Amino acid sequence: MRNRPPGLAEPELTDALAAGWGLREVSLEHIPIGAGSYHWLADAGDARHFVTVDDLDDKPFLGANGDEVFDQLRTALMTAHSLRHRAGLEFVVAPIETPADEIVHRINARYAVAVYPFIEGDRGPAPKLLDPNARHALKLVLARLHRVSPSAAPLARRIPVAVPLRANLERALEQLQEKWTGGPYSEQARSLLVIHSAFVRAMLDSFDRLRSTVEAASISSVVTHGEPHRRNLIHSKDGYFMVDWDTVGLAPPERDLWMIGDRTDNPDAFELYRLRWRLDDISSVVTLLRSPHGRDEDAEKAWIGLRNSIEAEPFTRD
């Protein structure tokens, strides 16, 4: 995220780092990158750490309320820890445990923090810009991840094939004749959906048909990352590493493989997960731009992303 987390003062974060990990007298540098989480570089003098703060009110793919999201976030990060330390996947950047063996520390009702080793390296300019070396590295990484026995990641949750904020998108489509007043990009978003509403509804219908077909096929599930794109792959002097494991879970391998264009023997599953990602983008941004927001970098990025997601070429083969 480009902005800082609303309602969270930096002293609250430093207190949480001290209470959870015993990190005192750290120097914090806010890092305006990514989407969905807030990040800092914490310099403790003798070591540097990557600090991630998650808004428990803004992770619908993990749960419907803050307590449920926190529990699922902790489970996901514990799964990442198991993948690295139990399954031996050295490319997994897992969170550092607290002295009390906790993976994530709850700052307050809304925010939670996790601490990671800092890895110096290149994360790439954009999610889907994969150079040949990065694509090859991702294929090798995913092949190893998908071979892991679920017993080595016993807490991994089964990921439903769903668009978490679909109800919000469908409500927005029903309210296209009303003025949207959330903020400066609300009416622009409404106008765009007015033009493309039939297409968005067709995507939802295609998603439902593909989901029925894939579920009937009973494809075996494997441990998946969920977002194996270029921005979650760090290239360092020690090789390639994968970050952002809050989406980890059991699902068909196509949940990961569509993102690197690695076609499989299950083309319906490939198309299903590719379409699910697009609908997730659209529903998430529509939800944001219908809600109170300002004219800031995060909102502008969301508006551009909405245009790109809607105006791109169709994904399905209908």
Residues 79 and 139 in one domain: no
Residues 100 and 38 in one domain: yes
Residues 183 and 77 in one domain: no
Q: Which of 117, 146, 164 corresponds to the end of one domain?
A: 117
Residues 164 and 290 in one domain: yes
Q: What is the C-alpha R_g of the chain?
A: 20
Domain residue limits at 22: 10-117
Residues 238 and 263 in one domain: yes
Per-residue confidence of the chain (318 residues) as pLDDT tens digits?
Answer: 678 889 999 999 999 999 999 998 889 999 988 778 999 999 988 889 999 999 999 999 999 999 999 999 999 999 999 999 999 999 999 999 999 999 999 999 999 999 999 998 887 655 566 788 888 999 999 999 999 998 889 999 999 999 999 999 999 999 999 999 999 999 999 999 999 999 999 999 999 999 999 999 999 999 999 999 888 999 999 999 999 999 999 999 999 999 988 888 999 999 999 999 999 999 999 999 999 999 988 899 999 999 999 987 654 443
Residues 165 and 299 in one domain: yes
Residues 257 and 146 in one domain: yes
Instruction: Please count the structural domains in the chain.
Output: 2
Q: What CATH number is attached to the domain comprising 186?
A: 3.90.1200.10
3 part of a folded domain:
no
Residues 48 and 187 in one domain: no
Residues 112 and 136 in one domain: no
Q: Which of 85, 117, 149 corresponds to the end of one domain?
A: 117
73 part of a folded domain:
yes
Total-model pTM: 0.92
122 part of a folded domain:
no
316 part of a folded domain:
no
66 part of a folded domain:
yes
Residues 167 and 282 in one domain: yes
Q: What CATH number is attached to the domain comprising 23?
A: 3.30.200.20
Q: Which of 117, 144, 168 corresponds to the end of one domain?
A: 117
127 part of a folded domain:
no
286 part of a folded domain:
yes
